[in-house]
Structure 1
Amino acid sequence: MAIGDIKQRLSILTVLQHYNLKSDRNHQIKCPFHEDDKPSFRIYADTNTFH
């Protein structure tokens, strides 16, 4: 299965929920890719993307 197929089948919120990651009221979480003191990982549910 290709990454594009996975992205079409699953929403980003579903993937985050699987890993027990919940965004705050500003749709941000602490970045899972590096040490982070404050939320900096922005979730865009309407476009199924992040930054």
Structure 2
Amino acid sequence: MEEELSESSFLRMHRPFIGALNKIRTYSSRHVEAAAQELPIGRLFRPRVEPALG
């Protein structure tokens, strides 16, 4: 399923989580807030997530 999603619209931030970039409200180095939920950013995914949200 991940291969079918647009890389410019979606981002894997943790093994079980893929987020829609337009739904992310705030973020820190460890979490993103999307749809009133706080989701973790996995340490292996952090190098890809931070530049994408930058």
Structure with greater strand percent: 2
Q: Aligning the two structures, in what range does the TM-score lie when normalised by the shorter sequence?
A: 0.3 to 0.5
Q: Kindly name which structure, 1 or 2, has the bigger radius of gyration based on alpha carbons.
A: 1
Structure 2-normalised TM-score?
0.32
